[in-house]
Amino acid sequence: MNEIIYHIDPAAEDLKDPVMIVGLPGVGHVGKFVADHLVEALGAQKIIEIYSEHFPPQVIVGEDSTVTLVGNRVYLARTEKTDILILAGDSQSTDPAGHYSLCETYIGFASQFKVKRIFTLGGYPTGVVNAENYVIGAVNNIEIIESLKEKGIKFNPSEPPGGIVGASGLILAFAKFRGIDAACLMGTTTGYIADPQSSKVLLEKLCGILEIGVDFASLDEKIKDMEQIVEKIKDSVNGEEFEEYGDRYATDEDLNYFG
């Protein structure tokens, strides 16, 4: 089963300098937090739903006890200078081949809407706690590096050393095949826990690139929540309280803080 539900007709839409943002679950949920926050902060409208047998065979139960099939969604936010497509959602592929199939689908949306620039968002695990957060980049076109450096993105040779796994990487490669410029922006993070602080730094850089302003309130709330969790962890010697808090948060908001 692969099902795409369009709420608007890509052929009929004439978007203004369309850019696509991709923030799916991954390292520290850094990318997912940014995409989800953008959807909320910009009041973006859901325009496409994607369901696939490559996602886990699972439904999510909402606050009102109604179920939602695990899937990803494309949202459209119309801002002054640019129209922003945001790909966000619940899951990446459960099998290697599914990543290829799904990313073909995603890049197809970019083509349909005549997107000229794509930014995939992710976390870059450093293993270092309490380090300063920054954003490193990788691109599918060497010519866009300079402009991103000007906006504060760092570029280090052959970094990340293990390459980029999953949608954040594949979309760059597939975009190149279609002649669409794309960059992967990765917020540094410990790699151990969900990291809304890294997401905030990444979001600030992204806003600079897109020349948009967004409210950071709900992200700041997540950061405070995580700080309290981490404080509790430090107080707890045997780690049992950690687990308890993890569960509370995981269930609280459909977000796995310990992904």
Taking CB under 8 A as the rule, does residue 172 contact a second copy? yes
Asked if 142 and 94 touch (Cβ cutoff 8 Å), the reply is no
Phi, psi (rounded to 5 degrees) for 117: -135, 135
Which of 86, 135, 184, 255 touches a second copy by CB under 8 A?
184
CA angle 202, 187, 237 (to 5 degrees): 115
Please tell me the distance from the alpha carbon of residue 187 to that of residue 154, in angstroms, as a whole number: 10
Tokens of 256: 């796995």
Q: Which stretch binds a second copy (CB under 8 A): 11-19, 34-42, 99-107, 224-232?
A: 99-107
Please, which of residues 112-151 interact with a second copy by CB under 8 A? 137-142, 145
Taking CB under 8 A as the rule, does residue 97 contact a second copy? yes
Asked if 133 and 36 touch (Cβ cutoff 8 Å), the reply is no
Taking CB under 8 A as the rule, does residue 237 contact a second copy? no
What does DSSP say about strands 19-23 and 83-89: parallel, antiparallel, or unpaired? parallel
Tokens of 141: 């076109």
Binding to a second copy by CB under 8 A, coded x per residue (else -) over 43-82, reads ----------xx-xxxxxxxxxxxxxxx------------
**Interface ranges with a second copy (CB under 8 A):** 1, 3, 53-54, 56-70, 93-97, 99-101, 103-104, 137-142, 145, 155-161, 163-166, 169-170, 172-173, 176-177, 184, 247, 250-252, 254
